[in-house]
């Protein structure tokens, strides 16, 4: 059997809650051995049940009160053992705990040290606290997510937390790959605001549907009469992005389920959709016109879809090669054939990490401090 890609890698995880623990969960799923260092009260996420279980499976838990001087030998031994250290505190906290980059690097010169913080280690906000919603707001996510009344709102999925987890994993694996050239130790400054901003800039400023719609409206008959209507239309396009198009969105079916249409600029998909829905007179509309007429066309498409049951409609759309899927609740996803075929859920219902080469982590999430004695004795240190 082929060894996991990161088999033999030692990861020391000082992070709590989500961004750091999800990053080290991904590393663990690729074969790394992760030791989670927790304060005496434990990770605050422990009270969140399945959430904590999901991203801490297979790790070992060591409890150290880093404010106590007698834990210093254990801390130094753990740092010497580690290839990678991940921490998620506000800048300055690890220095107060005696485990900042300078001290850790002096103890273990080959260490890859990854700090995940709200705003990174530099800049005017470096000392400010911040959680996912703050970073969504600062980066533009909340503005992009604004509702039909133009009120900003946050994404339910914690995109700042999770994007920074992925940036951390990519940065760590890149640093591991670079270990053969020059100095082996590296410090990685992962700012959660940086990570989510890179996503928002791509979508917030890179995607512009209003230009196409404006061009279509300028050539429309009765353009002057349309001008009072075009301004709110264009504002709506800017707010809704791809969801402004009638061929991209979620629709309710006759049986009370919902289907998602995922057509963007593909003319063939639009034509096939029109055939399935009996809207052949609309097949020739170019994308700009579809976008400009989105509010009207969405009602037309919605009425046709509400006449059909979801299973029958999805079968017809699949046969016509239209990108359409049923909207599933999270509790329904384990029964989805696609995820079953790709072995995504284990026998307990936990999801495998979405990385090529990742394995199901069979171990349970550790009890608080479960491995303190075992780990420290293996390193030749008596527990404090």
Q: Which of 282, 293, 297, 286 is nearest to 251 (CA)?
A: 297
Residue 268: inside a domain: yes
pLDDT at 320: 95
Q: Are 148 and 228 found together in one domain?
A: no
Span 185-203, average pLDDT: 90
Q: Are 329 and 221 found together in one domain?
A: yes
Q: Are 16 and 67 found together in one domain?
A: yes
265 has catalytic annotation: no
Residue 384: inside a domain: no
Banded pLDDT at 224 (limits 50, 70, 90): low
Residue 38: inside a domain: yes
Span 57-72, average pLDDT: 94
φ/ψ of 35, rounded to 5, equals -110, 120
* 3-state SS assignment for residue 279: coil
Q: Are 259 and 226 found together in one domain?
A: yes
Share of the chain above pLDDT 90, in %: 60
Q: What is the mean pLDDT of the chain?
A: 87
Banded pLDDT at 222 (limits 50, 70, 90): very low
- pTM of the full structure: 0.85
Residue 205: CB atoms within 10 Å: 9
Residue 331: inside a domain: yes
Catalytic residue chosen out of the listed positions 161, 194, 275, 309:
161
Q: Are 73 and 191 found together in one domain?
A: yes
Q: Which residue has the tokens 């509702």?
A: 147
Q: Are 225 and 167 found together in one domain?
A: no
User: What CATH number does residue 302 fall under?
Assistant: 3.30.1540.10
Domain, as residue range, for 17:
10-203+346-378
Angstrom CA distances, 274 to 88, 287, 299, stand at 51, 14, 14
pLDDT at 144: 84
Q: Which residue has the tokens 């997510």?
A: 145
Span 165-183, average pLDDT: 88
Q: Are 146 and 254 found together in one domain?
A: no
Residue 192: inside a domain: yes
Half-sphere exposure of 52 (CA within 13 A, CB side): 17
Of residues 93 and 346, more confidently modeled: 93
Buried/exposed 170-181: b ≥16 CB within 10 Å, e otherwise: ebbbebbeeeee
Query: Could you give the number of structural domains in the chain?
Result: 2
Encoded tokens for 209: 């549907």
Of 166-175, 193-202, 338-347, which one has max mean pLDDT? 166-175
Q: Are 161 and 240 found together in one domain?
A: no
Provide the pairing of β-strand 33-38 with 10-13: parallel
Residue 5: inside a domain: no
Q: Is the pLDDT of residue 220 over 60?
A: no
Of residues 351 and 265, more confidently modeled: 351
Q: Are 134 and 269 found together in one domain?
A: no
Q: Which residues contact 108 (CB under 8 A, 6 or more apart)?
A: 79, 80, 82, 185
Q: Are 254 and 149 found together in one domain?
A: no
Residue 106: CB atoms within 10 Å: 11
pLDDT tens figures, 129-159? 899 989 998 888 888 888 777 788 888 899 9
Alpha helices by DSSP H, the chain: 19-29, 50-56, 72-81, 93-96, 101-107, 132-139, 141-144, 159-177, 192-204, 210-218, 223-240, 267-277, 287-292, 294-305, 310-319, 337-341, 372-378
d(CA 262, CA 252): 15
Angstrom CA distances, 225 to 42, 207, 216, 361, stand at 65, 28, 14, 63
Beta carbons of 320 and 273 less than 8 angstroms apart: yes
Residue 2: inside a domain: no
User: What CATH number does residue 103 fall under?
Assistant: 3.40.50.10540
Residue 323: inside a domain: yes
Angstrom CA distances, 11 to 99, 158, 197, stand at 15, 24, 28
Q: Are 37 and 101 found together in one domain?
A: yes
Q: Are 55 and 193 found together in one domain?
A: yes
pLDDT at 159: 93
């Amino acid at each position: 059997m082929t060894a996991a890609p990161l088999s033999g890698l030692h990861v020391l995880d000082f992070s709590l809650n989500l961004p750091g623990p999800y990053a080290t969960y991904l590393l663990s799923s690729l074969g790394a051995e992760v030791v989670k260092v927790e304060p005496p009260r434990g990770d605050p996420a422990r009270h969140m049940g399945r959430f904590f279980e999901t991203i801490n499976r297979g790790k070992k838990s060591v409890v150290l009160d880093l404010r106590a001087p007698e834990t210093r030998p254990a801390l130094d031994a753990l740092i010497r053992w580690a290839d990678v250290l991940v921490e998620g505190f506000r800048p300055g906290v690890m220095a107060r705990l005696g485990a900042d980059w300078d001290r850790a690097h002096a103890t273990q010169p080959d260490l890859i040290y990854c700090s995940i913080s709200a705003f990174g280690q530099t800049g005017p906000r470096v000392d400010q606290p911040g959680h996912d919603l703050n970073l969504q707001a600062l980066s533009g996510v909340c503005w992009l997510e604004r509702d039909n009344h133009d009120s900003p709102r946050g994404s339910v999925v914690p995109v700042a937390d999770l994007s920074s987890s992925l940036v951390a994993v990519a940065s760590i694996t890149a640093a591991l790959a670079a270990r053969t050239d020059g100095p082996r130790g590296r410090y990685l400054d992962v700012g959660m605001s940086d990570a989510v901003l890179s996503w928002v800039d791509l979508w917030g400023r890179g995607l512009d549907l209003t230009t196409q719609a404006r061009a279509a409206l300028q050539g429309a008959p009765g353009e002057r009469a349309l001008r009072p209507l075009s301004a709110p239309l264009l504002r709506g396009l800017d707010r809704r992005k791809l969801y402004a198009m009638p061929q991209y969105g979620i629709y309710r079916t006759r049986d009370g389920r919902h289907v998602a249409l995922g057509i963007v600029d593909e003319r063939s998909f639009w034509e096939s959709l029109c055939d399935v829905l009996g809207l052949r007179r609309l097949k020739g509309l170019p994308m700009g016109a579809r976008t400009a007429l989105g509010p009207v066309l969405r009602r037309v498409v919605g009425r046709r879809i509400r006449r059909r049951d979801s299973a029958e409609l999805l079968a017809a759309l699949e046969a016509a090669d239209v990108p359409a899927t049923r909207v599933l609740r999270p509790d329904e996803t384990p029964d989805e054939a696609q995820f079953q075929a790709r072995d995504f859920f284990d026998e307990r219902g936990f999801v495998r990490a979405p990385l090529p080469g990742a394995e199901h982590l069979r171990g349970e999430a550790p009890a608080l401090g479960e491995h303190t004695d075992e780990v420290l004795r293996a390193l030749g240190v008596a527990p404090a």
